Structure 1
Amino acid sequence: MAEHDPSYKLLFSHRDLVADLIRGFVHEDWVEQLDFTTLQRVSEIGVSHDLREREDDMIWRLRWGERWVYVYLLLEFQSSVDRLMAVRLLTYVGLLYQDLAAAGEIPSGSPLPPVLPIVLYNGEKSWWAKTSLDDLIEPDLPEQLRRWQPQIRYLLLDEQRLADTDLAGQRNVAAALFRLENSRRPEDIERVLASLIDWLAAPEQDSLRRAFVVWLKRVLLPARVPGAELPNVNNLQEMRAMLAERVKTWTEEWKQQGISEGETKLLRRQLVRRFGSLPAWAEARLEQAGEAELEIWADRVLDGSTLEEVLKEPI
């Protein structure tokens, strides 16, 4: 996934996708009391021009009974996990409250509206960072001092670790997106597209259908079949037909790419076991390595005394 690809943000600028994200992945009783007909972007109420908006975040709000709930959706495309993500969210939520007050969205004397911070992560490695700020702060504190420490938690959705069997059982547009991202065969994509064509048939969903097509052409298919020439398709039906036509050719290409990715993952695990967490230069070298380099490094991994020795350029 390209970092901060605008087509991904375009998908999450649609109410249907955000609503299904909340319905399908926030498994808490209070969600049943949300009025999804009131879902709206914060930018639509004249706040985000002061909000220091990052290029990879979205802020929505919707009614919970008589109150507004703000959903801070952080779209995180990092290849490495951010250990201090909870600190970042503390800052972003604080800025949200400041700007809501400045925009007159919090009447004088009224309580602050609740915020649900969500981190949507689709990196290759499992997310290991703490999801609570409390877990990052020095643990051995006197109870009287600990009560003064800031607190925030965020809901993590680690897409690569979501079970496809669970996702497939949902009539949910967000789940369909995650199934597409976890797909490894052209027929897997074709199957999800068939569901999306059925679910997004209403005329008012045309914009979301087009957003899926843009994302498939810009992000998913180039990642699955690097260098392949993609025909000019304009809707999900054409995309599905194109996949069906090229399924035999692309299946073999995807299979070869999958073998290479598997070799890289295996070598990474071996290196981590021998030398501990890999520095950025080593990760970059692994990502850029060809099949010949991976084979040479795999031979060295058992005998090399240092990480530098194992990953030095082949002679």
Structure 2
Amino acid sequence: MITDHTNPMQKPEQDASGDPNDDYDTPWKDAVTRYFPEFIAFYFPDVHRQIDWPRGHVFLDQELAQIVKDAELGKRLIDKLVRVATHDGDEQWVYVHIEVQGGHDSKFAERLFTYNYRLYDKYRRPIASLAVLADDREHWKPEHYGYELFGCAVGIRFPVVKLLDYEARTETLLDDPNPFAMVTAAQLLTRQTKGDNQKRLAAKWRLAKLLYERNWDKQRIIDLFSVIDWMMQVPPELQKQLWQDIEQLERNRAMPYITSVERIGIEKGMQQGMQQGMQQGMEQGMQQGEAVVLERLLKRRFGPLTPETRARLANASLDQLEHWADNILDAKSLEEVFTNH
């Protein structure tokens, strides 16, 4: 329901502490879609006050995909384009980029800059790029990107939230009624219990009990439990113990929320997400391997490559790399390799 996945999804410049069992991306994506106003209210309260929520909001994921598909900036993660109305009676596009990978990405700010100006070029409407980071690097918090040449300055400055900044307030988060306070707490507790399944199970059970104490409607409890369950993965024997504890809790409270059918759905969703993440990881591995081979061939054919050319190879899609590899056989210059026929 709710980012690496943060994971089995492959992460750019993954931290050494990365745990392949921690999967956040699809849960983050689903949670943002289901509870977008709460997401904005929790992480970006100033933005929330400027949006006229009763007028509704529209997700434009397909439109966003069309705009950024040829950006050649590597595999994109969780991107959301949402149309909202403001209190002044006008309408504006808001582009929300959420990176919940647990990994540092040196091109993050540049990517937001590129997406932002492409969206503006298409819609000619104000675009607000917002970012949430869930990596482990305390001092990495990109907030702007730009350059200046001959007195001409171009760039972007965007609001960014770092989940690590909430770490000292984990207990306070558990008292906050906003669902993303609990999502953030689950993210932090997942990180804090890395490598200790018993502590993770205890933290997961604590969050599950809190869900039932909130007096939320059934669907919200199921949705948020799915988020927590997806984030805080434990071995099957401990997961079985958790289900038994939840069943007892439901009997005691006469709240049969998470039925066997819904449980099967949750578990299937987790399996599908893991399979999807593994597939995406394989594709990115193939892309990286193809880029290395093509770089070696270009060096042998045309000599040393510029940093710009190496960056172009590193950020190209697998299809683009294969196309360039075909071109190298007949190209008389480096420029001809990158020509689309």
- Shared fold (TM-score greater than 0.5)? yes
Alignment of 1:134-213 (within 5 A): 134=146, 137=147, 145-146=150-151, 148-162=152-166, 163-183=169-189, 184=193, 185=199, 186-197=201-212, 199=214, 201-202=216-217, 206=219, 208-213=220-225
CA distance in 2, matches of 1:164, 1:35: 30
- Which residue identity lines up with residue 10 of structure 1 in the other structure? D
CA distance in 2, matches of 1:202, 1:190: 19
Alignment of 1:100-139 (within 5 A): 101=123, 112-134=124-146, 137=147
Q: Which runs of 5+ in 1 are unaligned?
A: 102-111, 243-315
Q: Say whether residues 1:230 and 2:230 are aligned partners.
A: no
1:84 is aligned, of 99, 107, 116, to: 107
Secondary structure in 1 matching 2:138: coil
Contact 1:72 1:118 in 2 (8 A): yes
Counterpart position of 2:67 = 51
CA distance in 2, matches of 1:239, 1:116: 46
Q: Say whether residues 1:39 and 2:39 are aligned partners.
A: no
- Which residue identity lines up with residue 32 of structure 2 in the other structure? F
CA distance in 1, matches of 2:215, 2:93: 26
- In the TM superposition, residue 91 of structure 1 has moved relative to its aligned partner by 0.7
Counterpart position of 2:73 = none
| Segment drifting more, 118-127 vs 169-178 | 118-127
Counterpart position of 1:221 = 233
CA distance in 2, matches of 1:200, 1:89: 38
- In the TM superposition, residue 237 of structure 1 has moved relative to its aligned partner by 5.6
Counterparts in 2 of 1:94 and 1:196: CA distance versus 1, 3 Å: farther
Q: Say whether residues 1:26 and 2:26 are aligned partners.
A: no
Counterparts in 2 of 1:200 and 1:68: CA distance versus 1, 3 Å: farther
Contact 1:167 1:179 in 2 (8 A): yes
Contact 1:197 1:237 in 2 (8 A): no
Counterpart position of 1:266 = none
Q: Which runs of 5+ in 2 are unaligned?
A: 1-5, 10-24, 70-75, 194-198, 252-341
Counterparts in 2 of 1:169 and 1:2: CA distance versus 1, 3 Å: same
Secondary structure in 2 matching 1:62: strand
Runs (4+) off by over 6 Å: 239-242
CA distance in 2, matches of 1:198, 1:113: 43
CA distance in 2, matches of 1:195, 1:188: 11
Counterparts in 2 of 1:167 and 1:229: CA distance versus 1, 3 Å: closer
CA distance in 1, matches of 2:42, 2:109: 23
Deviations 1:206-258 (A, max 9, x none): 2x544434333333123xxx564523989x9659779xxxxxxxxxxxxxxxx
Contact 2:208 2:225 in 1 (8 A): no
Counterparts in 2 of 1:8 and 1:152: CA distance versus 1, 3 Å: same
- In the TM superposition, residue 92 of structure 1 has moved relative to its aligned partner by 0.9
- In the TM superposition, residue 130 of structure 1 has moved relative to its aligned partner by 3.0
- Which residue identity lines up with residue 201 of structure 1 in the other structure? W
Contact 1:84 1:129 in 2 (8 A): no
Secondary structure in 1 matching 2:233: helix
- In the TM superposition, residue 87 of structure 1 has moved relative to its aligned partner by 1.2
- Which residue identity lines up with residue 128 of structure 1 in the other structure? W
Secondary structure in 2 matching 1:71: strand
Counterparts in 2 of 1:133 and 1:200: CA distance versus 1, 3 Å: farther
- Which residue identity lines up with residue 94 of structure 1 in the other structure? Y
- In the TM superposition, residue 170 of structure 1 has moved relative to its aligned partner by 2.4
| Greater RCO, 1 or 2 (C-alpha within 8 Å, sep 6+) | 2
Count of matched residue positions in the alignment of Structure 1 and Structure 2: 212
Report the TM-score when normalising by structure 2: 0.51
Percent of pairs identical after alignment? 16
